[in-house]
Amino acid sequence: MGKDSEKELVGVKEIARRANVSIATVDRVLHHRSGVSEKTKAKIQAIIEELDYKPNILARRLASKKVLHLAVLIPLVSQETDYWNAPLMGITQAEEEIASYGVKIHKYFFDLNDRSSFVEQANLIADSQCDGVLLAPMFIEESKSFIQSCISKDMPYVLINSDIPEQNSLCYIGPNLYASGYLAAHLSGFLLTETDQILIVNISKEIDNHHHLLRKEEGFREYFSVNKRANDIFKIDIRQTTYEYVKSSMQNALDNKNIKLIFVTNSRVSSVARFLEETNIHGIKVIGFDFLKDNIEFLKKGTIDFLICQKPIEQGYKGIMTLYNHLVFSQEVEKVYHMPIDIITKENYLYYRN
């Protein structure tokens, strides 16, 4: 008994009856609206507490015709990588789920290779007077100034995929980059002897800004240092993302060495795998990131040994739901929600969700 039997019937009506006021007044204090005398406000609040009143969300959404506008700012899916298709799917899924609850989602896309497109879209959002923003802060400086305008407009915002320092964001949802690098190193450890050579590969047009890649590299190196492993670790930054460029860079990097394992710090690992396959290089283990079609193909064939994946779909989904739950239910949110660090192999990729 107790728990089960009590709550049942408590609604605004009951509260109004007990407080000897109208339900409209109860509604006012429920929503912290002005225009209620301190005295009656206090009385009503006491009753709300006492009864542990929980509003009926169904009725709330039904009665209120207010629609909630959420803006999303993420990279455009490019032909170079369809990684961003995944978060977008999660966002769309959330959208479908809450559409009937009066939520509208407005999507803005920018080009990963074009900072100005980011600024442009960000400005559109800033002017749109929406109720909340989901943001992938790929360009640090530009993101910071966008965030400033969000703050000044009192728009809550959620960051996904990569975090940015100094932030008043509602929360960050995404990987712990350092930890994922560390794990990659641990897996590497299984594949190597103490003397095998390792190559770390960062592939990105804008490596300076891509703290993510560098933080993964740090985590990776840390593992070897903590475990006092003697393996030589080389590294290369590849600043053009075309296959031809990756190929020639890799040729140079492998030259005159005896690399046994390559750690690619992002989803571009398929370029490296393609290179190894085309040039008929065998006996090198490969670890990279993300559950993308190309990557999975190489995983199946055994050219890639491990992929680390961090639920990009769920990042998008959770991002939207967090905004929704915060705005509609005033739900408290964790400041940081690190995604699980999933290990994908030939044997379990079929069962990977997200």
Residue 43 identity? K
Assess 336 for contact with DNA (CB under 7 A).
no
- Rounded to whole angstroms, how far apart are CA atoms 258 and 162? 34
Contact 307, 352 (CB under 8 A): no
Q: Kind and range of the H or E element at 180? A: helix 177-191
Q: Which is nearer to DNA, 51 or 151 (CB)?
A: 51
151 contact choice in a copy of itself, DNA, none (CB below 5 to 8 Å, kind-dependent):
none
Selected range binding DNA among 5-13, 89-97, 201-209, 317-325, rule: CB under 7 A: 5-13
Q: Which is nearer to DNA, 27 or 342 (CB)?
A: 27
Considering only residues 38 through 67, tell me which ones interact with DNA, judged by CB under 7 A. 38-41, 53, 55-56, 59-60, 62-66
- Rounded to whole angstroms, how far apart are CA atoms 78 and 22? 57
Considering only residues 63 through 122, tell me which ones interact with a copy of itself, judged by CB under 8 A. 100-101
Assess 187 for contact with DNA (CB under 7 A).
no
Residue 328 identity? V
- Number of CB atoms found within 10 A of residue 14's CB: 15
Q: Which is nearer to a copy of itself, 43 or 221 (CB)?
A: 221
Residue 341 identity? I
167, with CB counted inside 10 A (0-12, 13-18, 19+), is middle
37 contact choice in DNA, a copy of itself, none (CB below 5 to 8 Å, kind-dependent):
DNA
Considering only residues 287 through 326, tell me which ones interact with DNA, judged by CB under 7 A. none
41 contact choice in DNA, a copy of itself, none (CB below 5 to 8 Å, kind-dependent):
DNA
Measured at the CA of 217, the angle between CA 212 and CA 223, to 5 degrees, comes to 130
User: In this chain, which of 17, 18, 32, 34 binds DNA, going by CB under 7 A?
Assistant: 34
Considering only residues 63 through 102, tell me which ones interact with DNA, judged by CB under 7 A. 63-66
Q: Where are the beta strands (DSSP E) in the chain?
A: 68-75, 103-110, 132-135, 157-160, 171-174, 197-203, 233-238, 259-264, 285-289, 306-309, 336-338, 342-344
Size of the site for DNA (CB under 7 A): 32
35 contact choice in a copy of itself, DNA, none (CB below 5 to 8 Å, kind-dependent):
DNA
Contact 184, 308 (CB under 8 A): yes
Assess 20 for contact with DNA (CB under 7 A).
yes
Residue 27 CB contacts under 8 Å (≥ 6 apart), including other chains: 12, 33
Query: Per-residue string for binding with a copy of itself, 167-196, x by CB under 8 A?
Result: ---------x--xx-xx--xx--xx-----
User: In this chain, which of 1, 4, 5, 9 binds DNA, going by CB under 7 A?
Assistant: 9
Write out the DSSP string of 99-131. HTTTEEEEEEEE-TT-HHHHHHHHHHHHHH--S
Residue 83 DSSP symbol: T
Give residues in contact with a copy of itself (CB under 8 A): 54, 56-59, 61-62, 100-101, 176, 179-180, 182-183, 186-187, 190-191, 223, 338-343, 345-348, 350-353
Give residues in contact with DNA (CB under 7 A): 9, 11-13, 20-25, 27-28, 30-31, 34-41, 53, 55-56, 59-60, 62-66
